[in-house]
Amino acid sequence: MQLSEIQSRLNGQKHSEFGDVLAVSDDNYSWLPGGSIDLVLTDPPFNIARDTNFHTYEKNTINSFRFDKDKGWDTYTPEGFRSLLGDWSKEFSRVLRPGGSFAVFCADEYLSDLINALREAGLKPRRTLTWRKPNAVPVNRKHMMMSACEYIVLGVKGSKSVFNADVDTRSDQQISAQEIVSLADKASTVLDLEIRKGLNRLGSRPTPDEIRKIVENVISREASAAAERAVKIYSDDGNSAELCVPNYVAFNSKAGNRLHPTEKPVQLLTYLAELFSKPGDLVLDPFSGSASTGEAAAISGRRAILVERDSEFFNKGVERIKKIIGESQSKLI
């Protein structure tokens, strides 16, 4: 379906068009035709906003866990939030085409509720992807494990979903996000295991300087092996890559200069878009915030519909996409 067809179905909602990205200011998307979406890629509210003393932590970059402030967009009763998960899942199911995929972010405490809601809506959750954040803020590190992961429920409507585990390098002028993640994961795994071996062989506690030397020696000694392990994803002629994609991935979270308090890294969203859709496919983010998914769609050659109810975040997203795609291709209505 063309974006112009979808735009014609709007009933007075403020919206902006930027090439292959349509941003709509609305609290729902009932105007979107059923079966029109190839991928739902979204980060809805988590219902985890609460008052804390995080603002007293000297290296804090998230200020407070009451990140929805007086707007309340992440504050619900548990029962009310579970009901919303059901409503959202039904709408995901309605707009997805048969074989369309979804990737929905979720907090760990509501993970089972989201999976159940998706199943009850007729969708098929298949995997939960663990997103590890190496730069997570070490709040309460002396009292409990730090919160350094988020979760993304992945699945399909029906069967035969898109999953781009194989890459045709001849047709892509740029290296794909899937390749970058796989190459880094393969190489770092070799180094990780060898560093552990080196430290486990020690008979007594080493000094920090001795540890530094061990790590440096391992990296130097195993650099060639790590590189060789990484490039094994490619065929002998280099024309294709065959990826074994695990259900975990590491990306730094967005730190500083956020347009939205729960903004997700564009690199992660690009990775998901490239894995679960094809170039030119239509991606929906019904909780688009500051339009990170729109940027990821533009980078990966996908089309996108962004829906955001908060006028402040909608306007920030409009400006963001305008800068990325160019004012010459944009139209505000």
pLDDT tens figures, 86-133? 999 999 999 999 999 999 999 999 999 999 999 999 999 999 999 999
Q: Could you tell me the domains of the chain?
A: 3-165+246-324 (3.40.50.150), 177-241 (no CATH)
Strand duo 149-156 + 124-132: pairing: antiparallel
Decide if 157 contacts 91 (C-beta within 8 A). Answer: no
The pLDDT assigned to 74 comes to 62
pLDDT band at 135 (very low <50, low <70, confident <90, very high): confident
The rounded percent of the chain whose pLDDT value lies above 90 is 70
* C-alpha distances out from residue 7 to 36, 109, 110, 247, 323, Å: 13, 37, 34, 36, 22
CA dihedral over 133, 135, 137, 142, signed as positive or negative:
positive
Q: How many CB atoms lie within 10 A of CB 58?
A: 4
Residue 215 clears pLDDT 80, i.e. is over it: yes
Residue 196 clears pLDDT 60, i.e. is over it: yes
The rounded percent of the chain whose pLDDT value lies above 70 is 89
**Whole-number Å distance between alpha carbons of 286 and 308:** 7
**155 exposed, middle or buried (CB, 10 Å; 0-12, 13-18, 19+)?**
buried
Write the pLDDT tens digit of every residue in 155-190: 999 988 999 999 999 988 789 999 999 999 999 999
**Element of type H or E holding 180:** helix 177-200
**60 exposed, middle or buried (CB, 10 Å; 0-12, 13-18, 19+)?**
middle
The encoded tokens of residue 141 equal 């590190």
Strand duo 96-106 + 149-156: pairing: antiparallel
**164 exposed, middle or buried (CB, 10 Å; 0-12, 13-18, 19+)?**
middle
Strand duo 330-332 + 15-18: pairing: antiparallel
The pLDDT assigned to 1 comes to 82
**DSSP state string for 265-329:** PHHHHHHHHHHHS-TT-EEEETT-TTTHHHHHHHHHT-EEEEEE--HHHHHHHHHHHHHHH-GGG
DSSP state of 234: B
Write the pLDDT tens digit of every residue in 60-96: 544 445 555 666 556 778 899 999 999 999 999 999 9
Q: How many CB atoms lie within 10 A of CB 332?
A: 11
**Whole-number Å distance between alpha carbons of 206 and 227:** 29
- The CB-based long-range contact list for 112-120 (8 Å cut-off, 24+ gap) reads 113/81, 113/82, 113/85, 114/85, 114/89, 114/153, 115/153, 117/82, 117/85, 117/86, 117/88, 117/89, 118/89, 118/92, 118/93, 118/153, 118/155, 120/86, 120/89
Buried b (16+ CB within 10 A) or exposed e, 63-75: ebbbbbeeeebbb
Q: How many CB atoms lie within 10 A of CB 56?
A: 8
Decide if 277 contacts 293 (C-beta within 8 A). Answer: no
Give pTM, 2 decimals.
0.89
Q: Which residue has the tokens 């794909």?
A: 176
pLDDT band at 46 (very low <50, low <70, confident <90, very high): confident
The candidate with the shortest Cα–Cα distance to 273, out of 309, 298, 248, 254, is 298
